[in-house]
Chain A
Amino acid sequence: SHELTQPPSVSVSPGQTASITCSGDKLGDKSACWYQQKPGQSPVLVIYQDNKRPSGIPERFSGSNSGNTATLTISGTQAMDEADYYCQAWDSTTYYVFGTGTKVTVL
């Protein structure tokens, strides 16, 4: 399967940890990345190659990938982290595949 499944929504209290999963067949055999998208804005890369952060992305964003699941973790979640998050994987057959997306709400 080329589908990447995410929970539609995740709620988190300020200062707590939010975990967003991305499930796909043998996803751990590939690399996953994550994008943050705020309303009316373009997506922004927050994690690449499973667990690397681009310059300018806060340390509270981290990632992991094993088995069939990649996970984006936001530690010490802040109100500014409220957004939609999409995972994405790549392979030479299907090229780019995006996850179904998760809306993170900071209550």
Chain B
Amino acid sequence: EVQLLESGGGLVQPGGSLRLSCAASGFTFSSYAMSWVRQAPGKGPEWVSAVLRSGGGNTYYADSVKGRFTISRDNSKNTLYLQMNSLRAEDTAVYYCAKDQCGGGTCYFDYWGHGTLVTVSS
């Protein structure tokens, strides 16, 4: 059974930093790209960032977080990370870890974690 367990959320002041983690199990973690998707209160999901199987420089970001957030992965620990710096009030959301599934010229998320809440407020 695929499990994605996020942690690291909490309350942070504007301009602060936070690091999210996602522990994966139930599949071969190193064989799949992974993403972070967030959902602000009462809003729809918004893709934040993705990292390919090998990690390293193979990372992609939404314009809204580019230059502030950094995605990474440790395949030896089956763990995905999101380092969030210079946080703003508009970054307040539930952050989900999601397993990417790509094929047939498209990609989608076949599994999602339960999410971790990040609140940016003074």
Q: Which residues of B contact A44 (CB under 8 A)?
A: 112
In this complex, how many residues of chain B approach chain A with their Cβ under 8 Å: the count is 23
A31 partner residues in chain B, CB cutoff 8 A: 104-106
Kindly state whether residue A7 has any CB partner on chain B within 8 Å.
no
Which residues 36-60 in B have Cβ within 8 Å of A in the complex? 37, 44-47, 50, 60
Q: Is the interface of B mostly helix, strand, loop or mixed?
A: strand
| A-B interface pairs (CB < 8 A), number | 60
Question: Is B109 an interface residue, CB under 8 A from the partner?
Answer: yes
Contact (A89, B106) CB under 8 Å given A42-B115, A43-B112, A95-B50 = yes
Tell which of A13-21, A74-82, A97-105 binds the partner.
A97-105
Task: Scan B75-113; emit 1 where CB is below 8 A from any A CB, else 0.
Answer: 000000000000000000000100001011111111011
Give the Cβ gap from B117 to chain A, nearest Cβ, in Å: 12
Q: Assess whether B72 is interfacial by the CB under 8 Å rule.
A: no
Spell out B's residues near A (CB within 8 Å).
35, 37, 44-47, 50, 60, 62, 96, 101, 103-110, 112-115
Known: A42-B113, A86-B44, A96-B47. 8 other contacts (CB 8 A): A33-B108, A42-B115, A49-B108, A88-B45, A95-B60, A96-B35, A97-B47, A98-B45
Listed from nearest, the 4 A-B pairs whose CB atoms lie closest are: A31-B106, A96-B47, A33-B108, A42-B112
Query: Interface on A for B, CB 8 Å cutoff?
Result: 30-31, 33, 35, 42-45, 48-49, 54, 84, 86, 88-90, 95-101
